[in-house]
């Protein structure tokens, strides 16, 4: 079993015209793409990316829109490891703000060459109170599956 502490990984995006919906704000589908990609980047630091598949987005709640010309920052971290699964927490801020405008969890599964779930032998250790809280939330989400 390999032990890992929780680490943040950050991706920045510039919102352009092709990223907008008919209201002139960031299209939720594009945000979901970036959301999953951000989680994938965090998980791929622990497991070979060719062995990962995304199986579920556990909510992606928006609290305010983002518009063309704004930048968004996707921060992700692996907060829980099951036997074959890894759950990431992803949150999004705009520009230089620390205000979270989107957040949620994404589950990835470690698979073999035939896409069958396979153990990854990873353990995630939460130390900081916020990370411990996120780990508990991830455990509850996992039980709902």
3-state secondary structure of 70: coil
Distance, CA of 142 to chain centre: 15
pLDDT at 143: 74
In 3D space, the residue among 35, 116, 102, 12 whose CA is nearest the CA of residue 65 turns out to be 102
Which one-letter DSSP state was computed for residue 82? -
pLDDT at 145: 59
Q: What are the chain's domains?
A: 2-144 (3.10.129.10)
Burial 34-53 (b: 16+ CB within 10 A, else e): bbbbbbbbbbbebbeeebbe
User: pLDDT tens digits for 37-60?
Assistant: 999 999 999 999 999 999 999 989
User: pLDDT tens digits for 3-14?
Assistant: 888 999 999 999
């Amino acid at each position: 079993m390999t032990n890992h502490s929780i680490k943040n990984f950050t991706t920045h995006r510039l919102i352009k015209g092709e990223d907008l919906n008919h209201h002139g704000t960031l299209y939720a589908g594009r945000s979901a793409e970036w959301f999953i990609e951000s989680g994938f980047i965090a998980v791929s630091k622990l497991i070979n990316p060719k062995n990962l598949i995304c199986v579920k987005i556990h909510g992606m709640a928006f609290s305010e829109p983002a518009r063309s010309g704004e930048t968004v920052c996707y921060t992700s971290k692996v907060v829980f490891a099951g036997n074959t699964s890894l759950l990431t927490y992803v949150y999004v801020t705009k520009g230089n703000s620390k205000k979270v405008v989107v957040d949620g969890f994404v589950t990835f599964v470690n698979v073999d060459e035939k896409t069958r779930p396979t153990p990854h032998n990873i353990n995630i250790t939460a130390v900081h109170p916020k990370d411990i809280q996120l780990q508990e939330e991830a455990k509850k989400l996992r039980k709902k599956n």
